A and B are shown apart, each in its own frame.
Chain A
């Protein structure tokens, strides 16, 4: 299971959390493509709470968070 978290306007669109069952894992870019309208250029992507840039392989048990632009405090 891969857990995906969304925040702000993305949470309204896709839900707060989505669990996807992909036993062999998946490329981050492919995972992003599952969500129509999720623009990789406009989100900050975290894998297991670490910021990532570019593509990479996501394994079962990982958590991916997609953060829209911050509003600030």
Chain B
């Protein structure tokens, strides 16, 4: 399985990342892009999202998460994840999986996003006009992650 992982500290374009997915024998490519929302869950405007990370272990952790998608029998996986200050509308994360058939590609992307939401080494803060707030995974995030443990 081909693995491409990048921790990006500047803006990236999901459509460029999708075009870069390399999988000569694949019959399906599924992808997901997560964007920074302009408002918090409480509906308050956000100036930007700040993602703190560990200088060595965050990148290694992303690679380990990507490698764990091999269970789906996919041919390639690509993860690009931002760190630092992210403005509303900018991409936070891009995930793509290439496989012989669509189901494996869909499942791998779904799985990877659930892993990233709970296991990636990031500390997320919303900065807005009303101040700053650190975010932690929700019970819904943990429940999504638990779907893949059986």
Interface stretch, picked from B37-45, B98-106, B112-120, is B112-120
Whether A8 contacts B54 by the Cβ 8 Å rule is no
B124 proximal to A (CB < 8 A):
yes
B122 proximal to A (CB < 8 A):
yes
- B136's partner among A5, A67, A71 (CB-CB below 8 A) is A71
User: Which of the four size classes fits the interface of chain B?
Assistant: 20 to 34
Taking the closest CB of chain B, its distance from the CB of A42, in whole angstroms, is 11
Whether A71 contacts B57 by the Cβ 8 Å rule is no
CA distance A69 to B81 in the complex (A): 19
CA distance A46 to B60 in the complex (A): 15
Of A5, A8, A11, A73, most buried by chain B (CB within 10 Å of CB) is: A73
User: Which of the four size classes fits the interface of chain A?
Assistant: 10 to 19
Q: Please name all residues of chain B whose beta carbon is closer than 8 Å to the beta carbon of A5 when the two chains form the complex.
A: 54
Interface residues of B in 39-89 (CB under 8 A from A): 51-54, 56-57, 81
Whether A73 contacts B116 by the Cβ 8 Å rule is yes
Q: Which residues of B contact A (CB under 8 A)?
A: 34, 51-54, 56-57, 81, 92-93, 116-125, 134-137, 141
Q: What are 21 A-B contacts with C-beta separation under 8 Å?
A: A5-B54, A7-B52, A7-B53, A7-B54, A8-B125, A49-B56, A49-B57, A65-B54, A67-B54, A69-B137, A70-B118, A70-B119, A70-B121, A70-B123, A71-B124, A71-B135, A71-B137, A72-B117, A72-B119, A72-B137, A73-B92
- If A8-B52, A71-B134, A73-B120 are given as contacts, then 16 extra A-B residue pairs at C-beta distance below 8 Å, sorted by A number, are A5-B54, A46-B57, A70-B120, A70-B137, A71-B124, A71-B137, A72-B117, A72-B118, A72-B119, A72-B120, A72-B124, A72-B137, A73-B34, A73-B81, A73-B92, A73-B117
